[in-house]
Amino acid sequence: MLIGSAAVAVAGAASPGVAFASGRSGVSLRWLGVAGWELLVDGRRVLVDPYLSRLPVFDEGGQFIPDHPLTVREDLVDRHLGEKSELVLATHGHYDHLLEVPYVVEKHGSRVIGTETHRHLLTAQGVPGDAVVVASGGEHLDFHGFTVQVFRSLHSQFGSYGYFAPGSLTAPPPRPTTISDLVEGGSLAYMVTARGFSVLFLSGTANYVEREIAGLRPDVLVLGMSGHANVFDYTARALRATRPELLIPSHHDDMVTQLDDPALPPRGNPAAAAELTATARRIGLAARVLDPEVLRWYDL
């Protein structure tokens, strides 16, 4: 459900997409599918968990394939992420978040922020160690034109209250070859602030540390919206803690339908935006909800 005006923006380099909300913040955002995001401000690009390859990790019977090989659809990265990305923010180490980071770094010379484990996973795949800024939560980094705050966070907790491929590393492992080799390695959340406008990415998992985010008051909250059935009052706690003006769902598609498959729905699961809308209404938060189309730019 899309609430608010969505007028076609004036074409031009500074205005790549559709205006949403005021469209005057100078910050643009697009969903790359799964939990991937690209933020654009003043011609500078920040990626969060880019994952265009959408590995077919389910067999014909719908069973998950934990030893699925790691293969990157470089053609899609070349097509959709052709402009230089200055920074990549890794929320955690799983394949659907970290798989393409080595190729993006090779292609663009991007700097990455992640945990010590994420650094080990990346250097094991040939990423130079000095390309990875190790963070643990609490950092407030100035990129001179925008800032990035890093927050300690948590992975989603599924039916068993656990999740696929947990674990941490204290040294680089053998080169990862299957999706099980890309372990979680801790989870982080990020807030990017530019021109006084802030976007909080609790986008890579469906969990967070409430005390880490309480009182942040971002303009936009991008919230992971699947796998939170066992997280107490997940959506309402996030909204109450941060009271954003615009809500955007993340990690709410099927993860496997290819981006160049005509069968790919333009949006994710509509239940995600509907839950955000209903929760905001229930707690009395006057926030709009943007249910984004995949790969479409929105001027915030």
Site of interaction with Zn ion (CB under 5 A): 94
Closer to Zn ion by Cβ: residue 73 or 94: 94
Closer to Zn ion by Cβ: residue 9 or 255: 255
Instruction: Supply angle C-alpha 298, 193, 146, rounded to 5.
Output: 100
Smallest distance, Å, CB 205 to Zn ion?
6
Please answer whether residues 250 and 32 qualify as being in contact, where contact means their C-beta atoms are separated by less than 8 angstroms: no
Residue 204 to residues 11, 156, 184, Cα–Cα distance (Å): 31, 9, 11
Closer to Zn ion by Cβ: residue 45 or 251: 251
Which residue in the block uniquely carries the two structure tokens 């949006």? 267
* Residues listed for the chain: 300
Residue 52: exposure state from Cβ atoms within 10 A (0-12, 13-18, ≥19): buried
Closer to Zn ion by Cβ: residue 216 or 255: 255
Residue 264 to residues 11, 136, 261, Cα–Cα distance (Å): 26, 36, 6
Measured distance CA(254)–CA(103) in Å, rounded:
23
Smallest distance, Å, CB 12 to Zn ion?
37
Closer to Zn ion by Cβ: residue 98 or 300: 98
Residue 186 to residues 63, 177, 278, 280, Cα–Cα distance (Å): 26, 20, 31, 29
Smallest distance, Å, CB 187 to Zn ion?
8
Q: Which residue sits closest to Zn ion, CB atoms considered?
A: 94
Smallest distance, Å, CB 220 to Zn ion?
22
- Closest by Cα among 133, 131, 105, 126 to 176: 126
Smallest distance, Å, CB 217 to Zn ion?
27
Closer to Zn ion by Cβ: residue 91 or 193: 91
Smallest distance, Å, CB 289 to Zn ion?
24
